[in-house]
Amino acid sequence: MEQLVGRSAELARFDAVLAGLGGTGAVSVVDLSGEPGIGKSRLLVEACARARRAGFTVLRGRATEYEQHVPFQVFTDALADAPFETAASVSLRAEPGPAPHGSGDAPAGGVTARFGPRHALTALLTRLGDPGVVLALDDLHWADPASRELVDHLIRHPPRGRVLLVVARRARQTPTSLTAALTRGIDEGAVLPLPLGPLPEQESVRALAADLPAARARQLYAAGEGNPLYLRALLHAYRSGAPLSHTGTHAGGFRPADVPSGLAALLLDELTALDEPQLRLVEAVAVLGDQATTGMLTLLTDIAAPAVAQHTDALAARDVLRPGPGDCWALRHPVVRALVYENIPPVRRAGLHRGAARELSRMGAPAAERAHHVERSLTGWDPGAAAVLGEAAEEFASTAPATAAHLLDAVLRYLPRTPEHARRRGELALARARALGLSGALAESRDLLHRLIEASDDRHADLRAEAIAQCAVMERHLGHSPEATALLRRELSRTPGPPPGQDVSLRLALGMSALLTASYPQARAEVARAVTVARADGNAPGEAAALALAALGEAYEGHTETAAGFADAARALTDALTDPDLTELCEPLVWLAWAEALLERYTDAERHVARGLDIARRSGQLHVLPHLLTNRAFVCLHTCRLPAALEAAEEAEATARAAGSSELLAFTLAIKTLALLLGRPLGDGSALATGEEAVAAAGGSHGWWAALAWCMLGHAAFVSGDPHRAREAIVTAGGGSELPLLQPSIRPGQLDTLVGTALAAGDPAQAGRWAVQAAREAKGLGLGGQRAAALRAEAALAEHHGDVVKAVRLLDAATREYARGGQTLWEAYCLLRAAPLVARAGHGSRAAAMWRRAHRVADDGGARLLVDLAALVRPQVLTDTVVLPPELADLTRRELEIAGLVAEGLGNQAIAARLHLSTRTVETHLSSVYRKASVPSRSALAVLITRQGVRAGGTA
């Protein structure tokens, strides 16, 4: 192993990170960055060795320059080091998914869900994280897009336990998305940056050039600019007698075109001493990458196996090749591979790739594994090669859409532009546009679709209509809904018009575009026409889709009775359809579920979301996942299941980030803001930060999702104690103080918050106007939850004016509304608002009962904000009912609470989970309880508590 020179400071920081793993707020990622050859890989090797000596499992992988379109290549390489029994359960390669229930064949997009690999890897790392695991990824700047997404996920959602991700990369060659992910991690304290600079001269000379005259050693160090790889190459050349006249400064990159000519000559010069079979083997290794086994080298070079073994041993002795895992060979450094690969004559290089693809095919390797070599062997149109690339692209469409788009582009480059291939070209272009959209390249997808639309004619009207519908989606996600609307209306006005199925799809796209821009009334007729056309055509899925969109549009507009009628009809049709019927129109389940959620039909919404998620994941329709997951988060939030709500919101956020749509990201972050606000303790700033990011993502948009982002920022600001900012945010969302532009179906709830902001800011007159407006609009909506919000607003005003009786009456009415609708979170909130007022009115027993129910609901549902609110109002509600015996008089409120839970039979770990404390903190409190109460044991404490009639909440 090469000697590690310097880097003692970096290693000390790495050791400190290892020692702190698993603690609260600990670093979970170490980022080694620097120019090529600076020693990142050598430092990574030493860091891994230290981790192993400390008892960690170490998984080490390396991304490679010529496999940048092989999905998850760096992780697959790392998992080769994992224990077999754990790694065997992790599949990072796309595989055909099962056919939907009742269908004979899987749909064209039937692949493993794009986000399955991240869950599988996280689960593996969590399992290994008990004793400790280090995942080391070298040369990450060359990682494929799917691997980069997975790294981003691990940065934002570190696996539980003692898990450390260490990455090494060249900063100037790192893709922007990966740099942004690491930078966010640095800002949040999850990533420790370790940039590597030049090695000190004295250490370098002493360690590497002690045998040289001091002046010559210093000269060579200066020529290498402190870069250890450069210095070693120069030393090798000097010792072998090579001329050093071209040892100029380097260009900062190791792509062959950027390598200084002198250094390239030095590195390639040693290859001139190889004989012809050895040179063929070196070229084959450069082409094969991590597939360079002895067997493959034998097949690819036509050199007999014994001779291959002899030559590879000789090349290893020269340190040209180095052995790797699984009988693999590799060139000693990526720069050497790059120089060798680029210096292979193009025809011979393509022939080597073609031979590799042929041998892999003969071995039964899947298309996804052969595609890399097939693509690099293409020099002209080859139907067989195109079929392999198309099959691989289909496999990668959901798990690695950027790779799918790249492979389809290779096919399209060579596909003849002749009439007989016109339809195939259109189909491939559509598939590539879809893959580009899923990979986040929205503008590129939109541009490709524009070209396809302009080049299409009436012979392929179905392709044109599909391209237009898909283009409308891209335009919407790019924030260009007016352009999407114009495109759709132009197509629908063509003569002759599209066939019925395409007509329905285009009108639905038009309706959805209008809904997102808060202009649904302008598209209401188009959606109604879609219902009529689908029904006349016997298209039950299309009719169900149009009815679901009509339900959502009317629910958004606040026309509750009309929306309910459409929702009933859509539900009846949808529930009668089989999964295969819904596979092509999975999005209607999104529309139906959101309509039901806005209509406060949470059970129906949850059922349809579950079905939608199942179909979407099995059929690869991942573009609908953020919408389904945000709906699940919304429903779980209202029904007080905050951990589940936050989990769904975070998964929705991850899919939205991967999609690359800023508006969709704003929407998912808005829902996440509310989940964080209610699920995190009072004073936690994560909801406010997320709300700010949601608004930033929305940019200058004025649509539905942007308005929701501003509203959620307003709620977070209000809870954080800034009523002025809260008011400004909600008024901005609504386009004025009366909120004329805000979604009518949620307007009373927003007005309730505005009443609170006005009272906090000392403006009761404005609070009164907003309360009146809330009551008026809630009456028109006929929704229990919105009526309850208006009642809360009136109650706040009554309390402000000192009318406690009226405030209690209004809050009681609001509580009943929430309870009838199953909105247990808001029921608990109203109980907590009312309990102190009821106690003030002299009804202590009732107030205590209200508090206990609210506290139990909030605690069981993980609503930490309400749990903390309960703690704040507890003294006002339960003070008069607490009668403690002398033995317990000295106990603090927390100690009394823990003592009560001991009496209920809970162990320390269960108590810690219930109270959100550490087990050690519980043990400390119990030691104090034993001392103050003069009891010798846990059982004696339980007897005392039970005898005195003290409950777990600390009341008598």
Q: What is the per-residue pLDDT across 775-830, written as a single tens digit (0 to 9) for each?
A: 999 999 999 999 999 999 999 999 999 999 999 999 999 999 999 999 999 999 99
CB 40 within 8 A of CB 229: no
Task: List helix spans (H) across 620-703.
Answer: 625-638, 642-659, 662-679, 686-698
Higher pLDDT, 912 or 329: 329
CB 127 within 8 A of CB 161: no
Over residues 657-699, the pLDDT tens digits come to 877 788 889 999 999 999 999 999 988 999 999 999 999 999 8
The values of phi and psi at residue 843, to 5°, are: -105, 70
pLDDT for the residue numbered 584: 67
Q: Of 335, 346, 206, 170, whose CA–CA distance to 266 is shortest?
A: 335
CA dihedral angle for residue 661, residue 663, residue 664, residue 668, rounded to 10 degrees: 130
Q: Is the dihedral of CA 912, 918, 920, 923 positive or negative?
A: negative
Over residues 916-942, the pLDDT tens digits come to 778 888 888 898 888 888 888 887 787
pLDDT for the residue numbered 620: 64
Over residues 192-248, the pLDDT tens digits come to 999 988 877 777 777 677 778 788 778 777 776 677 777 777 776 677 665 554 433
pLDDT tier at 391, thresholds 50, 70, 90? very high
Q: Of 115, 153, 144, whose CA–CA distance to 405 is shortest?
A: 144
The values of phi and psi at residue 341, to 5°, are: -60, -45
CB 18 within 8 A of CB 164: yes
Cβ-based burial of 261 (10 A; exposed 0-12, middle 13-18, buried ≥19): exposed
Over residues 473-526, the pLDDT tens digits come to 888 777 787 888 888 888 888 887 788 888 898 999 899 888 888 889 999 999
pLDDT for the residue numbered 775: 97
Over residues 520-569, the pLDDT tens digits come to 999 999 999 999 999 999 999 999 999 999 999 999 999 999 999 999 99
Q: Of 754, 766, 878, 857, whose CA–CA distance to 815 is shortest?
A: 857
d(CA 742, CA 730): 9
CB 271 within 8 A of CB 282: yes
- In one-letter notation, the amino acid at residue 850 is M
pLDDT for the residue numbered 669: 97
Residue 642 confidence (pLDDT) above 90: yes
Give the Cα-Cα-Cα angle 607, 613, 618 (nearest 5 degrees): 135
- Write down the residue that tokens 């210093």 correspond to: 218
Q: How many CA atoms lie within 13 A of 116 on its CB side?
A: 23
CB 116 within 8 A of CB 613: no
- In one-letter notation, the amino acid at residue 484 is A
Would you call 305 helix, strand, or coil by DSSP?
helix
List, edge to edge, every strand of the sheet that includes 191-195. Answer: 57-62, 133-138, 163-169, 29-33, 191-195
CA dihedral angle for residue 148, residue 154, residue 155, residue 159, rounded to 10 degrees: -170
- Write down the residue that tokens 């000559």 correspond to: 265
pLDDT for the residue numbered 884: 59
Strand-pair category, 57-62 with 133-138: parallel
Higher pLDDT, 504 or 440: 504
Tally of CB atoms within 10 A around 201: 13
Question: What pTM did the predictor assign?
Answer: 0.70
d(CA 207, CA 223): 17
d(CA 518, CA 521): 9
CB 341 within 8 A of CB 349: yes
Mean pLDDT, the chain, whole residue set: 85
What is Dmax (Cα atoms) for the chain?
Answer: 100
pLDDT for the residue numbered 98: 36
CB 880 within 8 A of CB 839: yes
Q: How many CA atoms lie within 13 A of 787 on its CB side?
A: 20
- In one-letter notation, the amino acid at residue 614 is D
pLDDT for the residue numbered 249: 34
CB 411 within 8 A of CB 389: yes
- Paired with 138 in beta bridges are 62
3-state secondary structure 517-553: CCCHHHHHHHHHHHHHHHHHCCCHHHHHHHHHHHHHH
Which own/partner pairs from 388-394 qualify as long-range (CB within 8 Å, at least 24 positions apart)? 388/357, 390/428, 391/367, 392/366, 392/367, 392/368, 393/431, 393/435, 394/108, 394/109, 394/111, 394/431
pLDDT tier at 111, thresholds 50, 70, 90? very low
Over residues 54-89, the pLDDT tens digits come to 999 999 999 988 888 888 889 988 888 676 555 555
d(CA 750, CA 747): 5
Q: Of 448, 377, 456, 401, whose CA–CA distance to 423 is shortest?
A: 456
The values of phi and psi at residue 303, to 5°, are: -100, 135
- Paired with 133 in beta bridges are 57, 163
Which residues touch 110 (CB under 8 Å, ≥6 apart)?
A: 96, 97, 98, 99, 100, 618, 619, 620
Lowest mean pLDDT among 351-360, 410-419, 505-514: 505-514
**Complete DSSP assignment for 71-138:** TTHHHHHHHTTS-HHHHTT---S--BPPPPTT-SS--TT-B--TTHHHHHHHHHHHHHTTT-EEEEEE
CA dihedral angle for residue 929, residue 933, residue 938, residue 939, rounded to 10 degrees: -160
Over residues 604-641, the pLDDT tens digits come to 999 999 999 888 877 767 778 899 999 999 999 999 99
Question: How far from chain centre, in Å, is Cα 784?
Answer: 34
- Paired with 166 in beta bridges are 30, 136
- Paired with 656 in beta bridges are none
Give the Cα-Cα-Cα angle 544, 546, 552 (nearest 5 degrees): 100
Residue 296 structure tokens: 């493959």
d(CA 855, CA 849): 10
Residue 94 confidence (pLDDT) above 60: no
Residue 496, H or E segment: none
Number of DSSP helices (H) and strands (E) in the chain, helices first: 47, 7
- In one-letter notation, the amino acid at residue 292 is A
Residue 838 confidence (pLDDT) above 60: yes
pLDDT for the residue numbered 185: 86
d(CA 699, CA 662): 8
Residue 671 structure tokens: 């829902």
Residue 186 structure tokens: 């640095």
Lowest mean pLDDT among 139-153, 844-858, 885-899: 885-899
CB 954 within 8 A of CB 896: yes
Residue 110 confidence (pLDDT) above 90: no
